[in-house]
Structure 1
Amino acid sequence: MPGPSRETADIILLEDSLPLLRRFARIIETWPHGRVIGAFSSVEQAIAAIGTTKVDILVADLNLPDGSGIDAIHALRSCHPEAHAVVVSVLSEGPTVLEAIKAGASGYILKDDTSFDFIHALEMTLDGKSPMSPTIARQIIESIRGAPDPAARESADQVKIHLTPRERDVLTAIARGFSCREVSEMLGLSVQTVPVHIRNIYRKLDATNRSEAVFEAQRQGLIQP
């Protein structure tokens, strides 16, 4: 018996290697459940597209000429909380991996990992699973084993967090459910600037998504419930 039908996923590719970017696009063209709506080699271009377009999956490299793919993941999570991000990178250092996962990446695949089928990784992501190269999974396990005592986190929470007036405006708007485009129009900001503010808010509040940021800001009295 055939499985349930799957809607077509809108995918953005972020990769500075043009041959690899074209290869990913060609592979997705053969997949009936996905379509490439944007293929970019710069973080700035990807963030601009994320702020103005419906996205289901972001496939991102991390080391880009104009910045980190992690910035694009932050933008994705702030503008499209239900979307997924999959990192495809040569970087396997523990801190980098954890930063990407904390930013909101659902999966992390090393470029030299020949055991992973690209389309299968995308299907796993849409099914709520986390495709990861064995080396990356090991890095995460080792990091968890070395995680700091919860008491240290509680002590850090007592440090006063400062949000700029503009960051408070942006946070209040997203707390009310407005999209990045709506926030930009309300506050007179460019679509590219809103994700930057949201990323800074997440960093200051140690949050990985909109709900966590709003909860923490309300808990600390930074915005009204």
Structure 2
Amino acid sequence: MAAVAGPTTLPIRVLLVDDQTLVRMGFRMVLDAQDGVEVVGEAGDGRTGIEMCRTLAPDVVLMDVRMPGMDGIAATALIADECPQSRVIVLTTFDLDEYAFAALRAGASGFLLKDVGPAELLASIKAVAGGDSAISSRIGRRMLDLFSQRLPSGHPDSGDNAVAALTPRESEVLSAIAAGLTNSEIAQQMFVSESTVKTHVGRILMKLGLRDRVHAVIFAYEHGLTSHHRLG
């Protein structure tokens, strides 16, 4: 009797976009050594990255921010618009790079420093490919601080149907997400199960038409759905 083959898992297809050849080479060496990840192409500028994204349809794009010609912000915005199947992780040298924050607003799903370790890089790629976001806690807190300075908390626009569609509990969960709490921390704070929080998060993203948790944070600050509280 012939053996029945088990289900196969397709590798996560990654496109590298960075104007520095050595940086691309370094990331390729790291990723080529990992199971479940395949580097499908490299681009040295944003415009070439967009063209390759259209033809290769990668699952994840590792995108440098500062590049000659078309930078990572413009490229990310076009990829988010034209290649919705591809998720972008922004790469930067500085954790307070405002260009990188702008790329997040343009549609990126993650934000990593270029000195990220192999384990965190792989975990971030897997998270983003699975529809989640990838921002280290240190960068996440800095991002929230930047937003809190530029987008003062107020009251949601009463004419915003998307915000009005949220239940009181969903608004509370969104505020907690904006404060940097994980699902586990939200569950502890609200005395509910983590699976219940995940359900709330999924409904929030669906109702607001958001790609992932990163954009939920941005939305919350822009609509005054945060009290600016922080974890210690």
Find out whether 1:103 has 2:87 as its counterpart: no
Q: Distance in 1 between matches of 2:82 and 2:48?
A: 15
The equivalent of 2:91 in structure 1 is 88
TM-score in terms of structure 1 length: 0.58
The equivalent of 1:67 in structure 2 is 70
C-alpha offsets along residues 147-178 of structure 1, whole Å, 9 cap, x if unaligned? 14567989xxxxxxxxxxxxxxxxxxxxxxxx
Alignment of 1:16-95 (within 5 A): 16-93=19-96, 95=98
The equivalent of 2:148 in structure 1 is 145
Q: Distance in 2 between matches of 1:56 and 1:48?
A: 15
C-alpha spacing 1:17/1:84, structure 2 compared with 1 (3 Å) = same
Conserved 8 A contact 1:87-1:109: yes
Conserved 8 A contact 2:24-2:42: yes
Match for 2:67: what amino acid? Answer: L
Q: Distance in 2 between matches of 1:113 and 1:11?
A: 16
Q: Distance in 1 between matches of 2:108 and 2:85?
A: 12
Q: Distance in 2 between matches of 1:118 and 1:57?
A: 12
Q: Distance in 2 between matches of 1:97 and 1:208?
A: 19
C-alpha spacing 1:64/1:94, structure 2 compared with 1 (3 Å) = closer
Find out whether 1:136 has 2:135 as its counterpart: no
Conserved 8 A contact 2:57-2:85: no
Q: Distance in 2 between matches of 1:208 and 1:31?
A: 30
Shift of 1:117: 2.6
C-alpha spacing 1:145/1:15, structure 2 compared with 1 (3 Å) = same
Aligned length: 155
The equivalent of 1:187 in structure 2 is none
Pick from 10, 32, 46: which aligns with 1:7? Answer: 10
Q: Give 4+ residue runs of structure 1 displaced > 6 Å after superposition.
A: 151-154
Return 5+ residue gaps in structure 1 as ranges: 155-206, 210-225
Return 5+ residue gaps in structure 2 as ranges: 1-6, 159-208, 212-232
Conserved 8 A contact 1:51-1:75: no
The equivalent of 1:200 in structure 2 is none
Match for 1:117: what amino acid? Answer: E
Shift of 1:94: 5.9
Matched-pair identity in %? 20
TM-score in terms of structure 2 length: 0.57
Aligned-residue RMSD, C-alpha: 2.9
C-alpha spacing 1:27/1:112, structure 2 compared with 1 (3 Å) = closer
C-alpha spacing 1:6/1:104, structure 2 compared with 1 (3 Å) = farther
